[in-house]
Structure 1
Amino acid sequence: MTDQSGGPSGATGMRAPGGPGYGVQPPAGYGYGAPLPSGRATASMVLGILGLVLIPIVLPIIALCLGVSARRMADRGEGGGRGQATAGMVMGIVGIAFAALGVLVATAQAIASV
């Protein structure tokens, strides 16, 4: 009888390459992809979306502030989610612009009706 290495049974106790068992594990924190997004980045994106739909004055301002903070954290390497933070910032800016445009239109209509 032969073992997995192809030699006689019990000759050296070595396993064949690719046989059962575990290979060499990489060092901790190495090669596992990008860091997870921070909570600020996720909150910025969610509030940016909700600010465009539900509360167009308050939520976009909060989304913009959280987005700036989360991008700075990602740039320092303290967390991931730079793309989510950027999306939250952009939606916050767009939401603020829509709110300002709405206020201007409402003011113009009020002045025109007098």
Structure 2
Amino acid sequence: GFLPDVERIITMLPPKRQTMLFSATMPGAVISLARRYMSQPTHINATSPDDEGTTVKNTAQYVYRAHNMDKPEMLSRILQADGRGLAMIFCRTKRTAADIAEQLEKRGFASG
């Protein structure tokens, strides 16, 4: 995970600072990190009262299953599709994300 990286960065910061921590989820390790390094942390949940955990209505989600070796080619074809708009690609690990980003960049796509 990313927690060791975040902790290393935090130890390099000056003692007097404003710290904001954003996370899509708040697992126990992230809460512990906030308590350890933040002064009087406040948890803000950014959902509307009627939110039932559903996707925003104007966001379309698609799931494609592919063998690992076929994923860069499949992603390239999806990204080249007419009228596709913006895309967000999720990976299980940082290493996989870096590999996919590198392969997409080699194919002429911006990533980051």
Larger Rg: 1
TM normalised by structure 2 equals: 0.25
Looking at secondary structure, tell me which structure has more helix per residue: 1
TM normalised by structure 1 equals: 0.24
1 or 2 for the larger relative contact order (CA 8 Å, sep ≥6)?
A: 1
